[in-house]
Structure 1
Amino acid sequence: MATATTTSTFHKDKLQIDILSLERSGDTAVLTARVTNNDDEDAKVYDLFSTSNRFGGQYSTPDGISLIDAANYKRHLPLVEQEEEKCLCSTWDDTSSLAPGEDFEFWAAFPAPPEDVSSVSISTPVTANISGVPVSDGGDIDSEITEADTKDPEILNLDAYQENLEGDSDREQSGEETSIHLSADVLFEVNESELTGKADDTLEDVAKEIDGSSATTIKIDGHADDTGDDSINVPLSEDRAESVKKRLEGLVTRDGVEFETAGHGSEDPIASNSTEEGREKNRRVTVTFQK
């Protein structure tokens, strides 16, 4: 299904990782993979995919592998058995090694991605992310795995930051929330809180995104760089947040949406104030809402 070579081991790219299957059944997904030693000497593989000494040096597991659901900004960690407190997965002796040309297979169980997710990336400690791995449904997963007594699934939020090359906005996204950082230099003249004509296209795009979301509360926060005095910057950032609110109220067409505003002056920078580029990023109005 997918292949990668190691990038951060003594053997460089001589260890090959093949993803054999990723099967989803109900709330469980099982990854099966194979490691092949393409080196001309023995390869130590005892801790290849393990978190550091998690199980006291007795055995190793692939508990360092995770599934990346990029569509929902989620990282799925292996399921952990309730009683033994180890991952629901293969185990192998801590002294294991592979002779040249040898391989071994292993598996690990994860909380399944949502049914509408057809592919994920595989993250391992020793390879680049393996992208585009398809998720198969209806796989013949052993009932001992699907019915195992496990702890609550660990599914972590992934935060993504996207910078707009045109400089009018940046965005941060997690599994549940979007924050759009709108450049104050595009929205307003210097030291002013009245929106410029250039602000319309940007705010229309934001309004369309809000209309397409499930959000009922939109938070609008004004921010400034650290030049000047916050006795001026705080009320200015409040007024700018209010101006954006009023414009979005007229642009958002969906009912049941409320707006909250606040001004923070220079207290919450997202970049260094020691450069003009950083100060420009800090002069912003941030619009945050649930997806």
Structure 2
Amino acid sequence: MLAGRRTPACAALAVVLALALAACTGGDPVPAPDGSPTPTVDPGPSPEDVVATVVIPESGVEVEVGVHPVVRAGEYAVLTLDLTALTESPTGDRVHVYGFDGALGQNLPLRRPSNVRLVDLERDLIYHPGVGADDWPVVAPSDWHHVSDPGGSRVLIPYPAPAPDVTSLSVFLPGAPLLADVPVIDGEVPSSVRPEQQAQEPAADPSASGTATPSPAPEPQSLAFDEIVEARTFPLDSTSAELAGAVTTTESVERVDVQLGADVLFDFDQATLTPAASEALGLVAARVSEREAGTVSIVGHTDDQGDDAYNRDLSLRRAQAVADALSGLVDPSSYPMTAEGRGEAEPFVANDSEENRARNRRVAVTLTSTVVTRTDITTTGELPPFGEKGQVADAGSVVSIAGNMRSWEVAATARRVHGHVVVDLTVHGADDAVGAGWVLGALRGFNTHRGKGSWTPLDVAGNAVVLQGASRLFPMDYTTGPLPNYPAGEWLSVSDLNGASRIDGGQTRTYSYVFPRMDVGTVTFQVGNGLGADEFRFVDLAVAPDDAD
């Protein structure tokens, strides 16, 4: 089933899915030779079945999106979406699907429908559509984004084929809640023309004879798989900051990187571990022990104060002190340690404030190895303060935001999908504005946990965190690779890649945020830091269980 929220909209999704699956059963039981009924096997959905239906705002119009199963097609897998405009455009123009575009990416041209992605939250992978030599996604038909025709439109989107044992994937559909566990099936890729368009009713002939002639149906277009030059998957990273930010852990399936704030480990200008360092080192040992055996790299860093040679020596001594301590907490024969000092040569952020210098005084612990077990993050401590301009609301509340140009109402719910915490944020246009370009700006941008040398498109709606006690979790993200001016890479988050999508007065758009795994009953969700009037925090959001639990 789709993992949904406890809201009427998501209940409707579950009903749609249940009805779709029920329609695919084998009918009445076949009698056995002795006359007793023999149970039939449910064959599951077929490629033409709609397994979920959602409504999103587009161009001032409500557009219904019917989601089909993901169908394997050799080295690719195809997602089919049916789009139907439920109302006419207020301007009388054709309805264009703009929200399926992404932001202005550099490594990946995020042209429509690149914002529609497949997500494997069991294996922590994300799939982007296949693109051609012109950097546009290869889809069929070519005019799918015009949905003003009464029969709507359909789009076939190819992705890399998942592993043979994958039976379902989540679908990240911008403007709608994340759709969990959409079936992955074998079968024929659906036609690019919807069945109701293939069987259109005859139209009246205006000639005097009064005879009827069929309306011309759209011509089917096949997916040009041979034109795909690139279809990529990316491993997802999860990042959490624990002990009030003293320990920041970034994990993927293949690697764990822990940044330890030197100020919690050492006194000023010293390389002897303080008693307060024990809890932080215990967290590092737990993260290392989750992984298969491998060499642990430990690198010390300083800020830019002092002589470079002295800083290199200090950073090396600090790295060695951490290596010696960790060797007593994990098996050194399975996890041998290497220590290195780089002084001020590789700042994490610019050394332009005391706060940033403190972030640069750190020891980085890295292990490249696959996950064996998982340890929950720490959830102790008090929530950090929130800025005076931001609003704080309880679960179930609505936050009203009155901007200079627009007014909004926002609400949030949380759920669990394959262990991950997913927050669904709804943004409702609470005014009468039509066609205005103003959006809720607080959603746009990206958190700074990637540090200096990284880059993220401005319009990515990634400026959010989940808080649990003093711990902070950032949305899952992934790198598309380094850039000439950004050696730490271009980063995208598992959130809407177009935070500037249009929402007219009276319309509601949903933004889903996928966070790391965390076994908790409630979370606090926060956008911004409270320094802006359009920033907010929802406390004690109940995390609804996964439908698969």
Q: Does 1:171 align with 2:246?
A: no
Q: Does 1:134 align with 2:181?
A: yes
The structure where helix makes up a greater share of residues is: 1
Q: Does 1:3 align with 2:54?
A: yes
Q: Does 1:90 align with 2:168?
A: no
Q: Does 1:37 align with 2:104?
A: no
Residue 118 and residue 207 in structure 1: after superposition, are their counterparts in 2 closer, same or farther (change >3 A)? Answer: farther
Q: How many corresponding residue pairs?
A: 276
Residue 214 and residue 116 in structure 1: after superposition, are their counterparts in 2 closer, same or farther (change >3 A)? Answer: farther
Residue 51 and residue 193 in structure 1: after superposition, are their counterparts in 2 closer, same or farther (change >3 A)? Answer: closer
Query: Which letter does structure 2 place at the counterpart of 1:91?
Result: P
Cα displacement string for residues 39-79 of structure 1 (whole angstroms, at most 9, x for unaligned residues): 43243327664689xxxxxxx97355322445555331223
- Counterpart of 1:62 in structure 2 is 113
- Counterpart of 1:103 in structure 2 is 152
Q: Does 1:22 align with 2:70?
A: yes
Q: Is the 8 A contact 2:243 2:280 kept in 1?
A: no
Q: Is the 8 A contact 1:121 1:129 kept in 2?
A: no
Residue 236 and residue 72 in structure 1: after superposition, are their counterparts in 2 closer, same or farther (change >3 A)? Answer: farther
Aligned-partner SS, 2:69:
strand
Tell me the CA shift for residue 217 of structure 1.
Answer: 1.8
Residue 94 and residue 31 in structure 1: after superposition, are their counterparts in 2 closer, same or farther (change >3 A)? Answer: closer
Tell me the distance in 2 between the aligned counterparts of 1:69 and 1:10.
30
Tell me the CA shift for residue 266 of structure 1.
Answer: 1.4
Tell me the distance in 2 between the aligned counterparts of 1:94 and 1:3.
18
Query: Which letter does structure 2 place at the counterpart of 1:261?
Result: A
Q: Is the 8 A contact 2:118 2:169 kept in 1?
A: no
- Counterpart of 1:189 in structure 2 is 267
Query: Which letter does structure 2 place at the counterpart of 1:3?
Result: V
Aligned-partner SS, 1:266:
coil
- Counterpart of 2:484 in structure 1 is none
> How does 1:1-291 map onto structure 2 within 5 Å?
1=52, 3=54, 5-6=56-57, 10-11=59-60, 14-23=62-71, 28-41=76-89, 42-45=93-96, 49=100, 62-63=113-114, 65-70=116-121, 72-80=123-131, 87=137, 89-93=139-143, 96-99=146-149, 103-114=152-163, 115=165, 118-122=168-172, 127-128=174-175, 130-142=177-189, 151=229, 153-164=231-242, 166-174=244-252, 176-253=254-331, 255-290=333-368, 291=370
Cα RMSD of the aligned pairs, angstroms, is: 3.7
Identify unmatched segments of 5+ residues in structure 2: 1-51, 104-110, 192-221, 371-549
Q: Is the 8 A contact 1:61 1:90 kept in 2?
A: no
- Counterpart of 2:213 in structure 1 is none
Tell me the distance in 1 between the aligned counterparts of 2:300 and 2:189.
54
Residue 165 and residue 257 in structure 1: after superposition, are their counterparts in 2 closer, same or farther (change >3 A)? Answer: closer
Tell me the CA shift for residue 137 of structure 1.
Answer: 3.8
Tell me the distance in 2 between the aligned counterparts of 1:191 and 1:129.
52
Cα displacement string for residues 124-172 of structure 1 (whole angstroms, at most 9, x for unaligned residues): xxx35742431424343449999x5555641234455433361221123
Aligned-partner SS, 1:14:
strand
Tell me the CA shift for residue 241 of structure 1.
Answer: 0.5
Tell me the distance in 1 between the aligned counterparts of 2:176 and 2:267.
44
Residue 276 and residue 102 in structure 1: after superposition, are their counterparts in 2 closer, same or farther (change >3 A)? Answer: farther
Tell me the distance in 1 between the aligned counterparts of 2:284 and 2:166.
26
Tell me the CA shift for residue 20 of structure 1.
Answer: 3.6
Residue 78 and residue 36 in structure 1: after superposition, are their counterparts in 2 closer, same or farther (change >3 A)? Answer: same
Tell me the distance in 2 between the aligned counterparts of 1:129 and 1:174.
26
- Counterpart of 2:443 in structure 1 is none
- Counterpart of 1:55 in structure 2 is none
Query: Which letter does structure 2 place at the counterpart of 1:213?
Result: R
Tell me the distance in 1 between the aligned counterparts of 2:145 and 2:123.
38
When normalised by structure 2's length, the TM-score is 0.43
Tell me the CA shift for residue 242 of structure 1.
Answer: 0.6
Instruction: Select the structure of larger CA radius of gyration.
Output: 2
Q: Is the 8 A contact 1:22 1:134 kept in 2?
A: no
Tell me the distance in 2 between the aligned counterparts of 1:190 and 1:86.
54
Deviates more, 1:215-224 or 1:73-82: 73-82
Tell me the CA shift for residue 216 of structure 1.
Answer: 1.1
Q: Is the 8 A contact 1:172 1:179 kept in 2?
A: yes
Residue 85 and residue 220 in structure 1: after superposition, are their counterparts in 2 closer, same or farther (change >3 A)? Answer: closer
